[in-house]
Amino acid sequence: MVGLVIYFSYTKGWILANFESITPKQVQTLLQNDENVTLLDVRTIEEFKSGHLRDAKLIPLSKLEENLDKLQADKHKKIIVYCRSGNRSVSASRILESHGFTPLNVKQGIIGLMGVKMEIVK
């Protein structure tokens, strides 16, 4: 049982996370006030086509490690990482952090972003 709790906490980014997790409201503030950020959507192509944040780059989690070169120009920026609900973005943030990027994991993912009325484009 303890192992399950530890595993769950790890996958949620609650423990052993060397990156920050931010709320959808904090995403709004960052995008309005900080030009040194980039958006990364780590959902599938189909999910991305159904709606995403304007100017977000798509690199599905399953392809992230082999496509890190597509983010090299953003290595000096904070990378706002989101998925559908905030789980895949934790995994993506771990990968990015281990390669020297500065990820900001979005709690609640695009579901939370829609909840604070962020603009979703198709």
> In Å, what is the CA distance from 69 to each residue of 62, 63, 76, 83, 114?
15, 12, 13, 20, 29
**Rounded-to-integer distance, Cα 90 and Cα 42, Å:** 10
CATH code (residue 112): 3.40.250.10
Host domain of residue 103: 2-121
| Contacting residues for 97 by C-beta, under 8 A, at least 6 apart | 18, 19, 103
Task: Give residue-wise pLDDT tens across range 80-111.
Answer: 999 999 999 999 999 999 999 999 999 999 99
Token pair belonging to 60: 């599905």
- Please give the tally of structural domains in the chain: 1
Instruction: Please state, as a whole number, how many other Cβ atoms lie within 10 Å of the Cβ of residue 62.
Output: 11
Could you read off the pLDDT of 32-60 as tens digits, one per residue? 999 999 999 999 999 999 999 999 999 99
Q: pLDDT value at position 18?
A: 81
